[in-house]
Amino acid sequence: MFEHTYDTDDAIAALATPWGTSALALIRGSGGGSLELLEKVFSPLSRLREAAGGTFLHGVLSDPVSGEPLDDVVVLVFRSPASYTGEDGFDISCHGSLPGIASILEALRNAGFRDAGPGEFTMRAFLNGKMDLTRAEAVREIVESKSRKAHSLALQRLSGAIAKRIKLLRSKLLDTAGKIELALDYPEDELDETIVLDSGPVNEVIADLKGLLSTFSTGRLFQAGARVAVCGRTNAGKSSLFNLFLKEDRSIVSEVHGTTRDYIESWINIGGIPIRLFDTAGLRDGGDAVEIEGIRRTRELIDAVDLVLYLVDAQAGVAGEDADFLNRPGNKGRTIPVWNKTDLTDGAAPAGYVPVSVVSGEGFHRLEERIAGHFLKTAYTGDEAVIDSQRQKECLESALDSLEHVKAGIENDVSLDAVAADLQGALLAFGELSGEITAAEVLDTIFSKFCVGK
C-alpha cells in the first residue's frame, strides 16, 4: 500500500509490558505466518495447531536452536482477522523474569521473528483497516496519559469521537461539493435549473471546526501537562512544599529523580492536570564555576515553566529580591506568590498571596485550587471530543483555512474552479486527519512515537 520504514507483512514480536522483575510479562507477536513460526518454540505442538482463535493454551517454550526449555507459558491465539492488528498473532504470558524474557525474545528471533519497532502493531491495525488514524493516535495517548482525566479524554478518542465528528462535518460539505461538480461538468444551459451556492453549510462547518480547535489547549493541558517550578529564597520552604505535593498526590506514583545537581523534579497531579513539578532548591548566588553553571540552568528552567510558585517566608517578610522577582514583567501572570510558615506568624498575608503552612498543611488545598484554576480558567469544559494531537490540530487548521476561502469565494462569486479547489483542499485535510489519505512518511512519524509492543 505505502512504502514504509517497516515491512508490513513479516512476523514481528516484542515485549509489551515494562522491562522489570514482576509476576508476569506479556510478549506479543503478529504477522502472516507468525503462528507457524511459533510452532518452532511452543510445545505441545499439536494443541497449538488445533487451537481456534480466541482460545489460550498452557505449554512450554524452548529455544529452537538449543532445544533448551525456557519457560512455562500461556499463549493466546489470534487468527486473522479477529486480532488487534487484523493479522494472525499471539500474546505470550510468561514469568516476569529479566533473563527469562530476554531468552524468549532471543528464541523468537531464532525462530524467524523480527523485533517490532515502536507502534508497529498499531500501524498494522491501521493499515489493515482495524482503526482510523485518530483512534490509532488515541492508543498512544491512552498509554501515555498521566491523569485519569487525560486517560478518559483519550479513551473517548479511542471510541471514535473525533472520527465521528469529522465524518459529520464532511457530510455537511458534500451537498455543496456535489453542486459545484455538477456546475463544472455541465455548461449552464444544459442544466434544468440554475445552481445557487449557499454559504450556510460551509459557515456551520467553519463554526464547528473553530469549536473543535478551541479544545486543543485543553487537550494538550491534560495530555502533555504543565510545568510548575517552586522558587523562592533560601529557607523559604521550597523543598518542604515540593515534598508535600508528592505526599498528597497518591494518584500516580512517579519516582523523584535529580536530573542535574541543580533541581529535582517529579510528576504530580492537581485537579486531573499532570504537573511536572520542579524544586529549584539548588538555586543560590555565587560559588564556583559548576555552581554558576547550575544557577544559569535553573534560571533558564524558571523562564521556561508555565507557572511559578514563589515562596516567601512569612517570618522574614518580603525582601527586595522577592519584590524584584514578582515584579519582573516576564513573571507576571504566571506566578502565584505563596506566604509560607503561617504557623509561625500571626499577621495576615499580603494581598494576592496564598497563605500556607507547609509544616501543618494548612492552606495547601487552597493552593492546589489556585494552581488548577490558573490552568483551567481558559479550558474547554464541554463534553464533546477534545483534540490533543498537534497533527490533528494542523489538519483541522488546514481544513479551516480552505473553508474560509470557500466561504469568501461563494460570497464574492469567485470562479467555481477556485472554490472547487479550496473545497477539495478541505476534504483532503479531513481525509488526512482520519488517515484515509496519508503519506507513508507521515505514518512513520506518527507511529515512531509509540511504545514498542503497541
Largest Cα separation within the chain, whole Å, is: 90
Q: Which stretch binds its own copies (CB under 8 A): 136-144, 183-191, 314-322, 440-448?
A: 136-144
Is position 16 an interface residue for its own copies (rule: CB under 8 A)? yes
Residue of 34, 37, 87, 146 interacting with its own copies (CB under 8 A):
146
Residue of 24, 168, 323, 440 interacting with its own copies (CB under 8 A):
24
Q: Quick one: cell of 145?
A: 496519559
**Pairwise CA distance, residues 323 & 331, whole Å:** 11
Closer to its own copies by Cβ: residue 158 or 428:
158
Is position 121 an interface residue for its own copies (rule: CB under 8 A)? yes
Residue of 42, 85, 88, 91 interacting with its own copies (CB under 8 A):
91
**Nearest alpha carbon to residue 58 among 66, 67, 71:** 71
Is position 43 an interface residue for its own copies (rule: CB under 8 A)? no
Residue of 43, 171, 234, 251 interacting with its own copies (CB under 8 A):
251
Closer to its own copies by Cβ: residue 146 or 170:
146
Is position 21 an interface residue for its own copies (rule: CB under 8 A)? yes
Residue of 7, 9, 19, 65 interacting with its own copies (CB under 8 A):
19
Nearest approach, Cβ of 453 to its own copies (angstroms)?
A: 4
Is position 293 an interface residue for its own copies (rule: CB under 8 A)? no
**Pairwise CA distance, residues 313 & 33, whole Å:** 68
**Pairwise CA distance, residues 123 & 104, whole Å:** 24
Q: Could you tell me which residues come within 8 angstroms of residue 103 by beta carbon, excluding any fewer than 6 positions away? A: 63, 70, 71
Is position 162 an interface residue for its own copies (rule: CB under 8 A)? no
Rounded to the nearest angstrom, the gap between the alpha carbon of residue 226 and the centroid of all alpha carbons in its chain is 13
**Nearest alpha carbon to residue 364 among 345, 343, 387:** 343
CA distances from 269 to 67, 111, 201, 222, 276 (A): 49, 45, 42, 10, 8
First to last CA, the chain: 21
Is position 390 an interface residue for its own copies (rule: CB under 8 A)? no
Is position 224 an interface residue for its own copies (rule: CB under 8 A)? no
Is position 54 an interface residue for its own copies (rule: CB under 8 A)? yes
**Pairwise CA distance, residues 204 & 211, whole Å:** 11
**Pairwise CA distance, residues 272 & 274, whole Å:** 6
Number of residues binding to its own copies, judged by CB under 8 A = 57
**Contact set with its own copies (CB under 8 A):** 14, 16-26, 28, 54-57, 68-72, 74, 76, 91, 93, 95-100, 102-103, 121, 139, 142-148, 150-152, 155, 158-159, 251-253, 450-454
